[in-house]
Amino acid sequence: MTFREENRGGVILETAPNIRVKHAFTTRYGGVSEGVWSSLNLGTTRGDVPEHVDKNYDILCSALEISRERLCFTRQVHGTVVRPVTGADSHTLFTPIPYEADGLITNEPGLPLICFAADCVPILLWAEDVGAVGAVHAGWKGTVGDIAGHAVREMVRLYGADPRKMQAAIGPHIGYCCFETGPEIPEAVLQRLGDEGKAYIRPKGEKFHVDLTGVNRALLMRGGVPEENITASDGCTMCRPERYWSHRVTRGERGVQAAVIQI
């Protein structure tokens, strides 16, 4: 199953056909920001004009028909912490977030979870059987640290979800085609996955290309999610910098896209 593109009043979103609750992966299109942040920048710490970011959130929340006041953010640090949240964890823009986590999960209806990426891997989870969802930011460190599998296990532990009934969607990120690394990342993949990890590593001279989609899919499956319940975008942020922000392409002069999900 491939991702779908949806145009909601000029806001271009991508959605996964297997996630049948309110959700979206944003693109660059549909906001009011200018310059290197053009146009739907959702990052509050990238140097963009605060009034533009504020308007972008109004636009996105209107397009998704979600409550801006209930948005649940996190301070991402490329780790593997998964935090269960409730309405008490909702934050307004530009206010300090008192915790660090790269994954959020909840079983509270009407609470939109949001995570951010610009080459890293955004993953959305939906446990239909218990009415729970998750939003995960998986950088390469989070990926090899198995944050995806950890989020699944936390939804099982805290909410009683059956991983065999869980649905997962892996959003746009830097692709196998472009994610060129030194030996430390392949070594970490092999340490996590053993010989299975070789399928997601391709040597290129003294460098390597690593398939982050494949690694995260493998770890979700190890967590109990069936392969047929996992969809993945074929969008590469580095190949298509006009559609997505890429940290590598822009050398950090950029905005961010987001993944949002709500029961």
Instruction: Flag whether the pTM goes above 0.95.
Output: yes
Chain position carrying tokens 């920048």: 41
Q: What is the CATH number of the domain that holds 226?
A: 3.60.140.10
Number of domains composing the chain: 1
Q: Phi and psi (nearest 5°) for 110?
A: 75, 15
The pLDDT value given to residue 91: 87
Burial class of residue 71 in the structure, from the number of CB atoms within 10 Å of its CB (0-12 exposed, 13-18 middle, 19+ buried) = buried
Please state, rounded to an integer, the average pLDDT across all residues of the chain. Answer: 97
Give CA–CA dist 158/165, Å, rounded. Answer: 16
**pLDDT for 1 beyond 70:** no
Taking the C-alpha atoms of residue 223 and residue 250, their distance in angstroms, rounded to an integer, is 35
Full residue range of the structural domain in which residue 251 is found = 4-262
Residue (of 211, 205, 218) closest to 179 by Cα position: 211
pLDDT tens readout for residues 88-141: 999 889 899 999 999 999 999 999 999 999 999 999 999 999 999 999 999 999
The per-residue pLDDT for range 16-71, each reduced to its tens digit, is 999 999 999 999 999 999 999 999 999 999 999 999 999 999 999 999 999 999 99
- 182 within 8 A of 116, measured Cβ to Cβ: no
